[in-house]
Structure 1
Amino acid sequence: MIISTPPVDDVRGHAADMYADDIAEDGFVFGHTRAMAVNPEAHEAFLALIRAIVPSIGVRVYEAATLGAARAIGSGHCLLAHGRKSLRADVVDEKGLSSFAHGDDSGFDDAERAVIRYAEKLSSDPGSMTDADTVALREAGFSDRQIVDITLAAGARNHFSRSLLALAVPLDEVPGLEPSLARSLVEAARAGGERRPTADR
């Protein structure tokens, strides 16, 4: 990452809160936090969007959409961070998360698996999406508002994950994840990255 990020001693306002949250939680400031702190107003707006999305769908569905999008995009940052969040929120257990890293979503319930598939398609081939994709969510029991918010959750993850990838933000170790599980999530990100289209393919 070649952009200059705000030093810890110089941050103010929301950027200071971003740094303080990381330090309180993990004892250091993550690279992705430093990158987003270059424009703290944009990060604050991103958090406001997430706060507007989660109430209708709940944490479990939000994390399913986030993980599905992150795997398709190939975002190690978001797979590690939201893998840990999903474990802590009892969205999925370590075995289920490890299986997810290897392409097996059986650790999630039927509705959550539908969300993962939807978020993956949105993140990898949105131009091919049709009403059938929305119908699949409706058949999984989601309301119109929830379908819109699932879409916004996956779209928001695309914004955040792809921004970090574009800026080549270094991948930090996320404390609290069992090492072999963390490696599996990073490998899943690499596999997703290899599937991303490039100008050479």
Structure 2
Amino acid sequence: MSRLHIPTRDEAPANSKPILDIVYQKLGVVPNLYRLIGSSPAALAAFAAFQDGLSKTLDPGNRERIALVVAQINGSDYCLSAHSYLAINFARLSPDEIALNRGGGAKDPKAAALVKFAARVAEQRGHIVDADVLAVRQAGFNDAQIVEIVAQVAVNVFTNYLNEVARTRIDFPVAPSLAPRAQATAAG
């Protein structure tokens, strides 16, 4: 059971309803996370604006890769489940790619550099070393994209933490546990 009340769409504050309606139009459902954030119209508006603003440079696959590795690092089962679903159904990532992303890697070298950088930012809480920035730059990411990677990490930390604080009930297919090999990759 959730620690915080998750309002239905009908119970949501009036200022949250237009954003929840947009989410419904996009997904066909309003996930528990959005309804939870909708308890605070200000938080929901800020979250929606942040997400919308970050959808311009990094493609959906890379945004989902970041969400997956950050959720794995933070142990957010809700976000792992939600982003595994979104990665398959909207970003068209394969289950194998999702497992690699959760473990801190990717098949494509540029995507692997992005995931590794996002993981370092999350694990080190931003206290990375010069070599981390150099590696992501050498993979082809410019400074604006690096800023957006960090912003994606930040927005995902928010949802990871909120879902853990609230103990949000998972309303997506539950993400499988990583195989021991993938877990070792994430730790190393």
- Tell me if TM exceeds 0.5: yes
Do 2:69 and 2:118's aligned partners in 1 also have CA atoms closer than 8 Å?
A: yes
**How far apart are 1:152 and its partner, in Å?**
0.6
**Residues 68-91 of structure 1: per-residue CA shift (max 9 Å, x gap):** 211111111211111122112345
**Residues 42-95 of structure 1: per-residue CA shift (max 9 Å, x gap):** 122112112222212222222222212111111112111111221123452123
Q: By percentage of residues, which structure has more helix?
A: 1
The aligned residue for residue 59 of structure 2 is: 58
**How far apart are 1:142 and its partner, in Å?**
0.4
Matches within 5 A, 1:23-172: 25=27, 29-101=30-102, 103=103, 105-106=105-106, 108-126=107-125, 128-172=127-171
List runs of 5+ in structure 2 lacking aligned partners: none
Q: Name the SS for the 1:126 alignment partner.
A: coil
Matches of 2:69 and 2:11, distance apart in 1: 36
Matches of 1:80 and 1:48, distance apart in 2: 23
Matches of 1:7 and 1:147, distance apart in 2: 37
**How far apart are 1:31 and its partner, in Å?**
2.9
Query: Which residue identity lines up with residue 153 of structure 1 in the other structure?
Result: Q
Do 1:67 and 1:83's aligned partners in 2 also have CA atoms closer than 8 Å?
A: yes
CA distance 1:66–1:100, shift in 2 (3 Å): closer
CA distance 1:2–1:16, shift in 2 (3 Å): farther
- Cα RMSD (Å) of the superposition? 2.9
Q: Name the SS for the 2:54 alignment partner.
A: helix
Pick one of 160, 173, 184 that aligns with 2:177.
184
CA distance 1:48–1:136, shift in 2 (3 Å): same
Stretch deviating more after TM superposition (51-60 or 68-77) = 51-60
With normalisation by structure 2, the TM-score equals 0.79
Do 2:104 and 2:112's aligned partners in 1 also have CA atoms closer than 8 Å?
A: no
CA distance 1:8–1:49, shift in 2 (3 Å): closer
With normalisation by structure 1, the TM-score equals 0.74
Q: Name the SS for the 1:54 alignment partner.
A: coil
How many corresponding residue pairs?
A: 180
Do 2:9 and 2:20's aligned partners in 1 also have CA atoms closer than 8 Å?
A: no
Do 1:6 and 1:34's aligned partners in 2 also have CA atoms closer than 8 Å?
A: yes
| Runs (4+) off by over 6 Å | none
